Structure 1
Amino acid sequence: MERKNIAVFLTGGIAVYKAANVVRGLIKKGFKVKVAMSEASQKFITPYTFQALTHEKVYTDLFEITDDNPIPHIELADWADFTLIIPATANIIAKMANGIADDFITTTLLAIDTPKFVVPAMNEKMLLNNATKRNMQTLINDGVKIMSPDTGMLAEGYTGKGRLPKEEEIIEWIINKINSKKDLVGKKVVISAGSTIEPIDPVRYISNYSSGKMGYALAEAAFERGASVTLVSGPTNLLATPGVKINRIKTTKELERKMNEEFKTADIAIMAAAVSDYHVAKVANNKIKKTGEKLTLELVQNPDILKGLGSVKEKQILVGFAAETNNLYENAQNKLLSKHADMIVGNDVSRKDIGFGNDDNEVTLFTLKNSPIKLPKTNKKELSHKILDVIVEKLMSKE
């Protein structure tokens, strides 16, 4: 990074106290930081904290004009190479989306034409309100980068989506955004994620332990690299990255129908979903009552979605996953050939520290023309970028 001036705008959420560590961390990373605070943010933490951290005047008043600085909001806008809004409340997101300029922060933001990074933090109900989602999409369309909030204990005393991410994760996200590759601009990437479920009766179903974290991480990474991303997701507790188009499904047949539909216009398709191999031959209309010690269900094989896509692919790059508990290399290589895929991502789901439900993973990539590539254990977001690196370098080069 040659340009390192970052203007940090603090708004009135309870999480604003965490911004002090973010500012300190940015300074340690070599950024020069100037801070502006809304009136509401000053109810939680004083400007003196950030003046001490940055050794710079903190901007609080649109009309605080001096002989040296007659137009302070333009001065800051011209100075900033990057902009961070933290914690971004529903109010500031709405004002940014609609071009409102009624205080120092919003007036300055309207004058800034360099990259903006927004880190939302609010109650889950506010985050999921249609107005907030609509405003966030507007910002994304305008080129603003938005970090997905965490799930955790909220100020209201219950667990939900909307918690400010950890300070070190915010700093890492900003730096990755600044340095991110844009090698998928103009490409459509379709990714399946999570598990599929097959009903037994109105209250029971067959499924697996997939959390969807790997597929959602791949979707976020592809979006960061400039792709138009469609995520086809089974039931999960995850929220897609703002800007990623999401189609929700339940059964394998629903997944097959949606993947076939999206595959026609895709450049890259990644089947990261853990698909149920079988469905119940006859789903009961009513809850099955306990009538004896044993219950026999007749299972019928589900369609092989990856193989089906492989049989009709033209110029698309097709990537599948092989979740194995033994003979990983042999099973993944066989899957690569039998499914007509361009790459298989093999991972050992028998391990407790990676795979299903974990934040980390360790995989081996199998392609037709290269030796297997082992990617060491790391978080699924970083791993997703490494997988995309191989797709771009090894597979897209054939175009």
Structure 2
Amino acid sequence: MKAHLRRAVTALAASALALPLAACGGSEDSGVRMSDDITVGLLLPENQAARYEKFDKPVIEEKIGQLTNGKGKVVYANARQDAALQMKQLETMVDDQVDVVILGAVDAKAIAAGVEKADKAGIPVVAFDRLAEGPIDAYTSFDNEEVGRVQGEALLKALGDKAKDGQIVMMHGAVTDPNAALFKKGVKSVLDGKVNVGKEYDTKEWKPENATANMEEAISELGADAITGVYSANDGMAGGIVTALKAGGLGKLPPITGQDAELAGVQRIVAGEQYMTVYKPYAPEAAAAAEMAILLARGISLGAIAQADVDSATAQDVPSVLVPVVALTQDNIKDTVLQDGVYSVDEICTEKYKDDCAALGLA
């Protein structure tokens, strides 16, 4: 990871511990709640991607504990990609009078009525990772257009001077996820006019099996040998794409992008089955969500942490924290997920990948 990125990530993570505690010193500020007895509702969108329950949830829970001297409580629910279920979960948390909600929306538009209900009840909502609509109070995510640009630039690098020799397939995410539109915008800003797009899909619910079906259709219509590259918006779908390409009889897979640095995605990169993924440092994103939630619950301004303002379709100038990202390839596995302790060598270099790891100097 580049030094400037690591410094930014480290500084942001450190701020999640320091700022609320420092801010609490201002007891004379009107409206500031000094109690550590804070209940945070945590709503995450799905469990298809490993990141939400493996990385985000534990970090948020740990930070909430640290920021409340162990007295804060996290009430958790996962919507399992079901927008109607998530609405019920949010409504239950509002009815139970949690102090603040961290919300990773399944469907950014559909959840707006629930956010409105929370707002009317005086419960602040932090939009986490996905920009939910409605009167949200804060937002933390990654620069999602930059994610798409990073993916597009990596794919162009992999294609080299043969970028327009064949056709690429573009596998975007779910239309219900506003981030998918931002990834799409970013990648298209890089690839438009520089590659030939043979087929393009919006993948329902981000599911790998839907990506497999889409890819099978693309292979049938374009021919396996004509596909020179695949833009996949995330690692889960990249796995489904690899499945389809292998079944299609390709001896050598074309470069395939991804996102989230999931363990299976990193292992495919080690094996040469996936060209890259986008490594997004989850800890500082989750820490920022925890910090903003506690600040809001205490009635303290977000000015010290929110370095940006973001507009949604229904809210303007939402205080936001946007965390930088980096392209992960075979060349920088050591400097990213290994150095940051996301995975160990033993986790990546299982028996199946030992030879590939040895060739990369990882084992």
- Give the TM-score taking structure 2 as reference length: 0.29
Higher relative contact order (CA 8 A, sep 6+): 2
Q: Say which structure is richer in helix.
A: 2
- Give the TM-score taking structure 1 as reference length: 0.26
Q: Say which structure is richer in strand.
A: 1
